[in-house]
């Protein structure tokens, strides 16, 4: 069953979290700010398997490049789940298995299935704004719909990796089935 609900509260929280300046040469778009904030908040709305998190660092990795990258870099050093938030950008698909969240940029759209296949079976959350991301086996797609960002969630892909989403996240997301 597909459920769609407003994500106004999540977006407001995302905007509050992302008061991070972008690179001076490239002003951040409001959409990129919202996406970076949502990535940060997804870490709070996701549970990882016991023992799968590093005791000292919470790693967000970025595969590819787009306008959201500088804003994600601004999150480095914040605290996440009592761990220092570390950003690894750029990150190879092979090294991504050391991250807790992997953001896959649009620049990798052509080989999205290959990237997802290399991450399968590892307890990490995959996030992207690539169209059809959840249907390809990704876990969370940030999808623009008119003036807002909608969350599409592939709950089955997350569960296969041992991850669980909070009921609050599931209330504001559209549940999508997909993946091979």
The pLDDT value recorded for residue 14 is 42
Structure tokens at 154: 């592939």
Q: Is 110 exposed, middle or buried (0-12, 13-18, 19+ CB in 10 A)?
A: exposed
Query: Is 80 within 8 Å of 58 (Cβ atoms)?
Result: yes
pLDDT in tens, 129-175: 999 999 999 999 999 988 889 999 999 999 999 999 999 999 999 99
Asked if residue 20 has pLDDT above 50, the reply is no
Q: Measured between alpha carbons, how far is 177 from 108 in angstroms, rounded to an integer?
A: 22
Partnered with residue 47 across adjacent β-strands are 164
Mean residue pLDDT of the chain comes to 84
The token pair at 44 is 């709070």
Q: How many CB atoms lie within 10 A of CB 180?
A: 9
For the segment 96-139, what is each residue's pLDDT rounded down to a tens digit? Answer: 999 999 999 999 999 999 999 999 999 999 999 999 999 999 99
Q: Say what the pLDDT of residue 27 is.
A: 61
User: How far is it, in rounded angstroms, from Cα 81 to Cα 5?
Assistant: 27
* Nearest residue to 176 via CA among 148, 157, 149: 157
pLDDT digits (tens, 9 = 90+) for 34-69: 999 999 999 999 999 999 998 899 999 999 988 887
Is the pLDDT at 15 greater than 90? The verdict is no
What pTM value is reported for the model? 0.83
């Amino acid at each position: 069953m597909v459920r769609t609900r407003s994500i106004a509260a999540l977006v407001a929280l995302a905007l509050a979290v992302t008061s991070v300046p972008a690179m001076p040469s490239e002003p951040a778009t409001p959409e990129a700010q919202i996406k970076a904030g949502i990535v940060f908040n997804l870490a709070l709305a996701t549970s990882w398997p016991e023992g799968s998190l590093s005791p000292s660092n919470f790693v967000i990795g970025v595969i590819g490049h787009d306008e959201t990258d500088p804003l994600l870099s601004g999150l480095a050093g914040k605290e996440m789940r009592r761990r220092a938030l570390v950003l690894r950008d750029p990150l190879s698909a092979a090294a991504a298995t050391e991250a807790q969240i992997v953001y896959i940029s649009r620049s990798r759209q052509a080989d999205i299935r290959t990237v997802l296949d290399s991450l399968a079976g590892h307890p990490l959350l995959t996030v992207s704004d690539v169209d059809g991301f959840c249907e390809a086996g990704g876990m969370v797609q940030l999808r623009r719909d008119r003036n807002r960002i909608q969350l599409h969630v592939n709950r089955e892909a997350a569960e296969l990796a041992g991850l669980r989403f909070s009921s609050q996240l599931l209330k504001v997301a559209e549940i999508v089935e997909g993946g091979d």
